[in-house]
Chain A
Amino acid sequence: MTLGWIGEALASAPVQHALIAGTEIAFLSGLVGAFVMIRGQSFAGHVLTDVGTTGGAGAYLVGMNGWFGFLSFGVLASVGMELAGGRTRGERDLATGVVLSLALGFGALFLYLDAQLAHANASMAVLFGSLFTLDPALVPWISLTAAACLVAMLLIWRPLALASVNPDLARVRGVPVRAISIAFMVVLAVAVETDALVAGSLLATALIVGPAATAARFTASPLRAGLAGGLLGALLVAASVLLSYDSYTWLPQHTSWPVSFFVAAFTFFAYAIAAATHRVAFQRRAEVELP
């Protein structure tokens, strides 16, 4: 088999932009995801994407770029959730749920109004991603934002790790736990909302949780899990972009399969395989250790 179609894909400007923006943000997502795992914030991460839906739909409504809508609503919601936080995880989830359902309600209204005002494609772009129709002028901004978030993560890495694993000890050691948590939530929001461009607001969670959960099966160190998750995420997104480009020729009716489908399928199966491997390896070790 020749790899001609990959060369052809790489020569196309939209694919280049999609690859650059997609892999950068997937790397950041994997890194952030390592802490989402430790802190048990999968639901919070998911809520941010739904709140982003509202922001994205609202932005289209007033004629702004969707990304700014995603970002502004996501960052606001992340800070709000952190400040409102409940005592236990279940309670926190329920309080989060009420905010979420309110945001979804307004999202429904905005998308409905979008459709009424003849931005018919807006709703699909918000919900299912718009990586191939990315505004080229936005790509450098996405790169810059991703880089800024990476630097922020590296700056707060050690206190964040301590505060995530043992908040009481962190407080005793003089770590500003609250401020660190809020900073982390803002970075998480930026990563999630930019993922929404790649995979759509419905699926952005996959890139945060999937690669990180896969990596967490093999290492307990947040740094190693973060780096491995980031690389895995970037790889999956690159493969998804290329396959989505090629899928146009797969079926007679010539519709390209959405990037978000490939991202979701790859992350799920990566996790399933990792879980199975881990189980087998663990069992073998247990057998060896028995006298």
Chain B
Amino acid sequence: MNDLTMNRRTVLLAGSASLLAGLMPQMTLAQSNNAARMNVIAFPEPPTLFIGLDQNGSTQTVSGKIYESLLSYDFDFTPKPGLAESWDVSEDGLTYTFHLVKTAKWHDGEPFTADDVVFTTKEFLMEVHPRARGIFQNCETIEAVDEHTVRFTLKQPFAPFLMGFEMSTAPMIPAHLYRGTDFRTNPNNNKPIGTGPFKLAEWNRGSYIRLEKNPDYHGEGEPHLDEIIFQILPDAGARAVAIEQGQVQQAQFFDIEMFDIQRLSELGNIQLITKGYEFYAPVARIEFNTRVEPFNDKRFRQAICHALDKQLFADAIFFGLGKPATGPISNRTRFYDADVKPYDYDLEKAAALLDEMGLKPDANGVRRTVKFLRLPWGETWARFAELVQQQLALIGIKVEIEPADPASWTSKYANWEFEMTSNYPYQFGDPALGVSRFFVSSNIRKGVAYSNCTGYENPEVDALFEKGATATSDADRQAAYSAAQKILVEDVPMAWLVEVDFPTLLDKGYEDVVVSAIGVNETYRKARKA
């Protein structure tokens, strides 16, 4: 930006930047030498960098550079080598054999071997990682064939098994440091030892985390960057300014408020990337509690689906970062099927359904008053609730918004004390991993959030999800999931509104940063300065 372009906005920015200076931790690291360095926002500050025990938010982004799993995934979920060079799957879909990279070493110099894989998947994850447990409990045996070969034998076919070697699902944990210890209190939890391309160099709490290049990394000539510095910026305004002024080169997920994305992406040196979130691919949706009047009536739920203008939600709530959803599975997740009942925005159809139910408008035009438990995760979800309220008013459904703090939201949601609420859970690439949990009747578990909280029960759907998880051919799986999607979209236990695109803002001076379905949480072994 040259001097001539100084305009009012720049002056304003300078002002707000100096205002925010107090909120921003000083970026004290020397930026002068020629080291290939990348500054990335970490928000919120990770509680720990030990990915084995915490897979929330920014922990993945930072630890993803330190820890690895056996596989990586292309944008369409094709598995690619990670710590495993190659792998074989038996015809019956019961035996998976992984051939490990032979040169991989832990950051403390110990060699990475098949024993570490067995320890991690058989002992460590089964004890501390519920999502991984869901995958590896399907194994009959897990054994080290030789020092660099591991064999998993399944009890019955589990089709998404290969999807289970993503970094946050099955991070490899060093057996020599953890075996036989109390995993949760192991002192090594504070000094992460992985096999990844970067090692922890310095963690100045509240300010920054500095990772440095792992010179012994198994990838030939990798990594290309010398340092990655994660800047801890708790204030949203400060994060936007940091991107704007080039103090950081990357922001991801919801680091930058949605309304600022458009503006920042037009800065010239910044590019907006929405790829690299395929593994997460959330669908913003309204969950109905199908146990309570009038949500127990399919027609009422369908009427709501017709009354909500999905495109408006995408545009007004998510500022164009997303597109209308058609059903429970995102089009970026495997086995998506677009051929389902369409719920076009049609107030007459909605009204007709309500009339059919006998819900007539009273003198004020109100047919029914319902409650909406507001998701307490910031302005976006407050606007979301308001737009629901605004749109349903048009068909005579009066929505009372019920405010909640995060703890009480989770508690009410998990204990079914709601009528409607919104949500956008990750799908983890495969319906068997991230979708079926919300619909199968076996997962109706009171007190557990992100289970089947709507109370939807349909034996046919249960059977289809079962079949989708165990069928060995993709064609069979697709058939099962297509059928399941048709039924679910007919029954609408939820109103699926928007497939949300997370944005990554990245300095144009970097290349090969977003290369996989987990995008910014990837190892960055290939990332480099242009």
Tell whether A pairs with B: no
